Amino acid sequence: MSEFWRDRSVFVTGGTGLLGSWLVAELVNRGARVTALIRDGVPQSRLYTENWHHQINIVRGCIEDLPTLARAINEYEVDTVFHLAAQTIVGVANREPLATFEANIKGTWNLLEACRRVGGVSRIVVASSDKAYGDQEILPYDETTPLQGEHPYDVSKSCADLICRTYYVSYGLPVCITRCGNFYGGGDLNFNRIVPDTIRSAFHDKPVTIRSDGSYIRDYFYVRDGVLAYLHLAEQMERKEIWGEAFNFSNEIQIKVLDLVHKVLMLTNKTSLETKILNEAKHEIKHQYLSAKKARKLLSWYPQYSLEVGLQETINWYYNFFKSL
């Protein structure tokens, strides 16, 4: 394993989240000195259930608080920042757009401004989303696709993405942006998402509920591939020519929600379960998936997990999780 991360001071926002908890674990395993910003205590997060919190520094606070961010970056002499904290649920954004804008837009400029003021940070990786592109007629999205979100969550990501760009162009801040599809994997405690909810239904032999009409097409990205992509991008930022750039990370598989549900039920041997289609989804993009050609070409990056392998590992994690409750 590369020695790149050994003894490197790394600041992770959103440490209790799906991606954050897996990233913290991998960084600890690679010898990094990790500091995580945590707003809420989430006892069932992998950060706590697998005891990673005992091996890192924890800063209590939120990304809307600039002084807290500046203090953490300064006092822990942070070299690398992974900004993952965000309000990520589309339904929550539709109900409370201002809180989503505060977290996703203000939180991003606070993080970047803290890095600019304190200085000394050598690389910043900011999590945007495929939703930043909005609804597009030409697919797949590549990094030249305009950022034109229209609904609250999508707009929050479009704005945050552009703010990152201006901090690079105007201040030379060493920032790169990731745009990934829908993350899935063990440890996602947002059971309104299709993968964990379907697995939970399979475990308890209950009907599967689909909020949309089932025809929405998405790009699903395994969290362990996401962690490797983020680390690889950060390592590649030794090359200043990629600063300020955005990169799509994807296994480039487009799949309908209903087909994904059927795949999970097949892997859990629960294909006889009833599927209830509510057709209640509002303010969501119907068809989206990403091209990762730029990441392959400029970063020599490739995904390591197939959809089937990722889903099977995810199912195994949740089955162990539910058995422990």
pLDDT tens profile 265-322: 999 999 999 999 988 877 778 889 999 999 999 999 999 999 999 999 999 999 999 9
- Structural domain contains residue 56: yes
Task: Summarize pLDDT for 75-89 with one digit per residue, the tens.
Answer: 999 999 999 999 999
Mean pLDDT value across the chain:
96
Residue 18 has pLDDT above 80, yes or no: yes
Q: What is the pLDDT of residue 280?
A: 82
pLDDT computed for residue 46 by the predictor: 96
Is the residue at 231 inside a domain?
A: yes
Question: Does pLDDT of 181 surpass 80?
Answer: yes
DSSP string, 231-262: HHHHHHTTSGGGTT-EEEE----EEEHHHHHH
Q: What is the pLDDT of residues 226-252, one digit of tens each?
A: 999 999 999 999 999 999 999 999 999
Whether residue 210 contacts residue 226, with contact meaning beta carbons closer than 8 Å, is answered with: no
Catalytic residue among 133, 141, 153, 220: 153
Which CATH number fits the domain that encloses residue 94? 3.40.50.720
- 152 in any annotated domain: yes
For residue 251, what pLDDT is reported?
A: 95
CB neighbour class for 1 (10 Å; exposed up to 12, middle 13-18, buried from 19) = exposed
Query: What does the pLDDT look like over 167-177, one tens digit per residue?
Result: 999 999 999 99
Domain assignment of residue 213, yes or no: no
Question: For 16, which DSSP code?
Answer: T
Tokens of 198: 């379907």
Q: Are 163 and 172 in contact (CB under 8 A)?
A: no
The verdict on whether 184 is a catalytic residue reads: no
Give 213 or 109, the one with higher predicted confidence. Answer: 109
Boundaries of domain holding 165? 9-184+220-253+287-304
pLDDT of 103 above 70: yes
Residue by residue, DSSP assigns 159-183 as HHHHHHHHHHHHH---EEEEEE-EE
Distance CA 123, CA 161 (A): 16
pLDDT score of 65 = 98
- Whole-number pLDDT of residue 1: 65
Give the separation between CA 119 and CA 82, rounded to whole angstroms: 16
* Domain assignment of residue 201, yes or no: no
> Is 113 among the domain residues?
yes
Cα distances from 245 to residues 20, 134, 146, in angstroms, run 22, 19, 14
Structural domain total, the chain: 1
As a whole number of angstroms, the distance between CA 201 and CA 210 comes to 11
Indicate whether 71 belongs to any domain.
Answer: yes
Which residues are bridge partners to 81 per DSSP? 11, 124
- The per-residue pLDDT for 51 is 96
Q: Are 139 and 288 in contact (CB under 8 A)?
A: yes
Does a structural domain hold residue 204? no
313 and 304 Cβ atoms separated by less than 8 Å: no
pTM of the model: 0.96
